[in-house]
Structure 1
Amino acid sequence: MARYTAPVTPLHADNTPCGHPVTSTGKPKDPASGCTGRTHYRAACSCSWSTTCDARILAADARTQHLRTHLTAPAA
């Protein structure tokens, strides 16, 4: 069985990855960092599936549901 990975990535409004430290509301902790803040999250599978959500928990749930589709059905 192939191994699939589907990380959840925080994104800026322009869809670039955000690795900056942010507050609980998504605003940058350091205003001088050039970060515009996190606005959404993308879950992307190595099979080319992806989805974008406003909250990390929603992206993580979508990722989990998608990864379950890769499981093979048990033998009868």
Structure 2
Amino acid sequence: MSSKSTPPTPRPGRASLEERRAQQRAAARIYRAKQEADGRYQTIFWMTMRQAVAVREWLRRGGDVSVLRSNEEKGEHHG
């Protein structure tokens, strides 16, 4: 028998915080790539609560959302 002890084998279980964050980042990259492959692009911006209420009301009343579509979706090609 050897007098050296072997290090304990880590038990399978919860991933470390950094491992979970790395998994989440990888999943987000894959999701974004799939969305972009479908021609979708996400932008994020902040607005005031008052602006958000006004936008929701405008949409509820049938506001023209064609301005939110890309030129490609509208069939317009420049270049």
TM-score by length of 1: 0.27
The structure with the largest helix share of the pair is: 2
TM-score by length of 2: 0.26
Structure whose CA Rg is larger? 2
The structure with the largest strand share of the pair is: 1
Asked which structure has the greater RCO (Cα within 8 Å, sep 6+), the reply is 1
